[in-house]
Amino acid sequence: MLKEFKQFAARGNVLDLAVGVIIGAAFGSMVSALVADIIMPPIGKLMRGLDFNDLFVALDGGSYRSLDEVRKAGVPVIAYGHFINSIVNFLIVAFCVFMLVKQVNRFRSPAPAPPAPPPTKECGFCNMSIPIKATRCPQCTSDLKNG
């Protein structure tokens, strides 16, 4: 069983997947920082100082100044500002992945074209090569629609 596990772990696909997960986690934290520290502050400024992280609805109907205050009070809360930030994170990651795949596909060689149909066929009666669209053999005058 240990030998099978070593063979499984040593396969290239498993190592590629591990590298992809590690790079993806690092990329995710980088995008989160980009959204939280660079993209959302100007958007908040444009919206008169609105901080998306503090957008919430307290489910007890009370009035609270910040999300931290609601959570410290132990009140159930819908923190939709975090959800908005997550959507922006997702859109940025999805766009980056799209651009990466687009560039990789550009560098790949195009798929081979399907082979062209042959320009000729053989007469079933005299075995001579004739045009593919012919309905009568020019050599033996046989009707090719039926044969």
**CATH code for the domain of 22:** 1.10.1200.120
Q: How many domains does the chain have?
A: 2
Report whether pLDDT(6) > 60.
yes
Nearest to 26 by CA among 93, 120, 74, 79: 93
pLDDT at residue 99, as a whole number = 85
Per-residue tokens: 13: 């696909």
Question: Do 94 and 134 sit in the same domain of this protein?
Answer: no
Range of the domain at 86: 12-107
In a domain, 60, yes or no: yes
In a domain, 125, yes or no: yes
Alpha helices (H) along the chain = 2-10, 12-34, 40-46, 67-72, 80-107
pLDDT at residue 76, as a whole number = 92
The residue with tokens 């997960």 is 21
Question: Do 36 and 90 sit in the same domain of this protein?
Answer: yes
Distance CA 144, CA 141 (A): 9
In a domain, 1, yes or no: no
Q: What is the mean pLDDT of the chain?
A: 82
Question: Do 68 and 138 sit in the same domain of this protein?
Answer: no
Question: Do 33 and 103 sit in the same domain of this protein?
Answer: yes
Report whether pLDDT(124) > 70.
yes
Question: Do 100 and 121 sit in the same domain of this protein?
Answer: no
For residue range 54-108, list pLDDT tens digits in order: 788 888 888 888 888 888 989 999 989 888 888 887 888 788 778 888 888 888 7
Taking residues 6-34, report their average pLDDT.
79
Question: Do 102 and 129 sit in the same domain of this protein?
Answer: no
Question: Do 24 and 96 sit in the same domain of this protein?
Answer: yes
